[in-house]
Structure 1
């Protein structure tokens, strides 16, 4: 396995990244804050009002270092490439592996196993934090769901048939959402989870989950575009016109720890209440404008929190995890990694 190249993420407002010899230099208010040798970089990614000098963009293009730009919220804006780009080869390999049952299954098994394990981690944390307030029967249900999710994760890593893996992924989702209400502390009946509903969400908690899932999907899609992958050509999710299947694949690893825990925190702490939702004529439930802004603020704060990436062994803000995983996925397709290392939460 080859050594992973580093990616330089620049997110401070007003930061300027320039070329100095064979280095990328980050300046804030005219003061040098960081210096990184170009030969150690795999990408330079700027968020929001961070800027990059034309000289550095040219140097990155010559060396095959990705130079990409995103909004503050992570929406992909542009990518600077030289005359010879590996993206067409990367996407060709992406399409080839998607059509190769064994290679496709190797990627899907990692995604499904990580999803089930991460759902289990969320349940375990809820049992640890709130288990004393649960009835004995409910605590037993939570424990049984954890065990089943553990078994699903273990089974997934030994399978290569994509249809079987899709069945396991569906079972993991079913088992997880069956006990989702046991993680809720709110006493408001209208905020209690009954069942998962989408397109449209029919109650407040589903409306909150769907809105947050949309934000996460957006971040995953932008991250994939930033490394040159086709967000529509997925492996776990079937291909459909207009569906960002690969972004949905990537989201499965991050869904429970990033979105579900935030939704539970917002409702359990009373930060989001019934008055923050309104019903539409078609039966859908949506967030009010004020509540949507509050959720966006909470989402941005959540993305600032750091964890240690289990594969890289480095502290990483949650908001950059889609970009990290997208880069790992691209390197797997290029053959730099022997396997795709999914994000597994500890």
Structure 2
């Protein structure tokens, strides 16, 4: 089963017999057989015909409407699908099962952060990178013996501090200075990029969680509240370094952003302005449209990595004994 991602603007999705056609300016960009389709995700300003919507609902294929940033406006689902059907299964997960998933998520985050630094180290040697790489390796060993959520969050926080302390050495554009992570509000252009990228990624994960019928407020690592969908915060951890941080380093080192033109200072913080957001989103969407081979052997855009992991977590909820395997970069 595959997902249809329509991220180009101005597309037109129509039904032709047993397949969906994605057109733009009378050109057919892609076509997907309905029996092989699991979900349709439409980013930004594209349209889908009533006939295509009806065919998707008949086959229980949800349609999700998102902004270009990945913010979910809403979804169309078949009436039989129901809502929060998995909540009971999530609530019944045992403490040990939740801890095992939380442990794997923290290990994956530390691994992916370390891998990104190692790649940068091979390009430009830095003592601070060496120190952070060694620190992250040590923390991975400690995580394997952690026996509580609090200890896992402590190791995750220590790993993030070590990682971000060295990330500035990966930047070759001297206009962008980065020494530590600051979030609310972002304190400088690099933090503004990281915060914006994480927001885009988090919103998209939340949409996928909703589509799969999972309760976003039932998590394993982070604590939920009425305003915090913690499951999205859990699943984003494994993707921060490979999807957002690596893009930020690329944009800065290739001089694709300008400190004086793409950012604005307000409310005590630094934020991307309209031009900066447009540049970042253009590069982000372009990168997420690159094809990758998933664990099941199918070839999809990188968006599919997120969907694959959400479905893997759903499988864990149904069959806790199988555990959950996060996304790892080599």
Partner of 2:265: 279
Partner of 1:16: 13
Query: Does the C-alpha gap of structure 1 residues 314 and 158 become closer, same or farther in structure 2, counting only changes over 3 Å?
Result: farther
Could you tell me how far apart the structure 2 residues matched to 1:204 and 1:35 are?
A: 41
Describe the SS at the equivalent of 1:79.
strand
Deviations 1:280-322 (A, max 9, x none): 3x4322233332322222222232233333x233333233433
- Choose from 171, 174, 183 the match for 1:184: 171
Partner of 1:34: 31
Q: Structure 2: any 5+ residue segments left out of the alignment?
A: none
Partner of 1:130: 124
Give the paired residue count: 326
Partner of 1:244: 229
Q: In 2, are the aligned partners of 1:119 and 1:176 still within 8 Å (CA)?
A: yes
Q: TM-score, normalised by structure 1?
A: 0.81
- Choose from 193, 202, 206 the match for 1:217: 202
1:170 and 2:165 matched: no
Q: TM-score, normalised by structure 2?
A: 0.85
1:90 and 2:86 matched: yes
Pairwise CA RMSD: 2.9
Q: In 1, are the aligned partners of 2:98 and 2:220 still within 8 Å (CA)?
A: yes
Query: Does the C-alpha gap of structure 1 residues 316 and 120 become closer, same or farther in structure 2, counting only changes over 3 Å?
Result: farther
Query: Does the C-alpha gap of structure 1 residues 273 and 317 become closer, same or farther in structure 2, counting only changes over 3 Å?
Result: same
1:343 and 2:327 matched: yes
- Choose from 284, 289, 311 the match for 1:299: 284
Could you tell me how far apart the structure 1 residues matched to 2:141 and 2:170 are?
A: 24
- Choose from 129, 144, 151 the match for 2:131: 144
Query: Does the C-alpha gap of structure 1 residues 194 and 14 become closer, same or farther in structure 2, counting only changes over 3 Å?
Result: closer
Mapping of residues 71-110 of structure 1, within 5 Å: 71-85=67-81, 87-97=83-93, 100-110=94-104
Query: Does the C-alpha gap of structure 1 residues 106 and 61 become closer, same or farther in structure 2, counting only changes over 3 Å?
Result: farther
Could you tell me how far apart the structure 1 residues matched to 2:227 and 2:111 are?
A: 29
Shift of 1:240: 2.6
Shift of 1:76: 2.2
Describe the SS at the equivalent of 2:322.
coil
Q: Structure 1: any 5+ residue segments left out of the alignment?
A: none
